[in-house]
Amino acid sequence: MGGGRGGRRNALQQSERPTLNMTQAFRELVQIGITLTSEQDLGTLLERILTEARRFTRAEAGTLFLREGDQLRFSVVQNDKLARELGQEEMRRRLQADPLSLRELSLAGHVALTGDILNLHDTYAIPPDRPYSFDPRVDARLNYRTQSILVVPLQDPANNILGVLELINALDRGRVVPFDSQYEGLVRSLASQAAVALRNARLEDLSFKDALTDVYNRRYFTIRMEEEYKRHCRFGEPLTLALMDLDHFKEVNDRFGHRAGDQALRDVAQLLVKHSRSFSIVTRYGGDEFAIMLVNTAKAGGLTYAERIRAVIAQHPFPHGPVTVSVGIASLPEDATTVDDLIVAADQALYDAKRLGRNRVAVQ
């Protein structure tokens, strides 16, 4: 950025700081790359990309955007200062915003369109003739100051830009300083590795997702059930399985058509995801049946969850009319000793719920 006294002052600030150990930095970069490419869960990967990039550059905060068409979606937000002041959940809630249009003159939008790196010492001193600008409204709302910023494209080897990494406020002994220019090439390399890992994880995610409802499919259910069973055997953690069936679903298809039936399945899936804990595993088990793995949840907790979900669905205003569900609950270790036995027990409980009149929860 600019010359004159400001440029000399920035140069002095950088010369006061210790020189970057490039050998050590490259070593760290290789290790980060190995870590990223070994992570297959998309959500975990995105958090890890931003965490590692911040640690690598000593950034106080950062945002990872994913490109979706002509928009950038806020995928991960991290800010140590605001997390201390507000707590993690509130920090995330306040920093998450509507997607950015690439047509806007934002820093992230410019990088997504051009593939350039922006390394700005002060976001409030951007000359007006630049093809990008900084919006200070979020800073004002949160009483925060975004000063130095390093913005890098997540660009794969085919030059596709999958997203943008924004690193905010480099810290040196507790004070905000510019990002060392030597980081630019290193962070671009990190971002390229991250883009490859992201592309692979997305492909893996697609193979584990149900195309209609966007929740996990039966293949993923089978794999995770075995993993959770091993965890149960090793650590003794309880595991509850809820099998859920839409009541009289065939009548919905017959009366309103398959499009209405598909929409009902999508809506139920979204309600399940919204009203389940982040570490519960929601899957479409087949047809109009869903399976929800309640990790580290005992039978009583599973019963409470199932009753709450049943009520949420019954009260939801579906476009074609009311939808109800029947739910069967079974748990390890009370109801089974193997994965197959647990599924059979939950299925039997689901059968009992339907036999007893539907729109209810039954336990094995």
Q: Where do you find CATH 3.30.450.40 in the chain?
A: 4-202
The strand pairing partners of 168, in sequence order, are 61, 149
Q: What is the pLDDT of residue 27?
A: 67
Mean pLDDT computed over every residue of the chain: 87
Q: What is the pLDDT of residue 34?
A: 62
Flag whether the pTM goes above 0.85.
Answer: no
Q: What is the pLDDT of residue 235?
A: 84
Instruction: Read off the pLDDT of each residue in 182-197 and give the average, rounded to a whole number.
Output: 83
Q: Which residue has the higher pLDDT, 231 or 336?
A: 336
Confidence of residue 278 (pLDDT cuts 50, 70, 90): confident
**Residues with active-site annotation:** 288
The strand pairing partners of 330, in sequence order, are 241
Q: What is the pLDDT of residue 25?
A: 66
Instruction: For 218-363, give the CATH class.
Output: alpha beta
The proportion of the chain whose per-residue pLDDT surpasses 90, expressed as a percent, equals: 57
Q: Which residue has the higher pLDDT, 123 or 22?
A: 123
Confidence of residue 37 (pLDDT cuts 50, 70, 90): low
Q: Which residues, including other chains, have CB under 8 Å from residue 192's CB and lie 6 or more apart?
A: 154, 155, 156, 157
- pLDDT tens track for 59-91: 999 999 989 888 998 888 999 999 999 988 888
CA distances 25 to 17, 19, 28, 118, 233, Å, are 16, 11, 5, 20, 41
Q: Where do you find CATH 3.30.70.270 in the chain?
A: 218-363
- pLDDT tens track for 224-242: 899 889 889 988 889 999 9
- pLDDT tens track for 3-35: 444 443 444 344 444 456 666 666 676 666 666
Closest CA to 251 of 233, 267, 264: 264
337 has pLDDT over 80: yes
- pLDDT tens track for 291-325: 999 988 999 999 999 999 999 999 999 999 999 99
Confidence of residue 364 (pLDDT cuts 50, 70, 90): confident
Q: Which residue has the higher pLDDT, 39 or 120?
A: 120
Q: What is the pLDDT of residue 45?
A: 78
Q: Which residue has the higher pLDDT, 112 or 279?
A: 112
Q: What is the pLDDT of residue 58?
A: 92
Where do we find the tokens 């890890």?
48
The dihedral of CA 210, 51, 296, 313: what is its sign? negative
Q: Which fold has domain 4-202?
A: Beta-Lactamase (3.30.450)
Residue 112 near residue 88, CB atoms below 8 Å: no
Give the whole-angstrom CA distance, residue 331 versus residue 280. Answer: 14
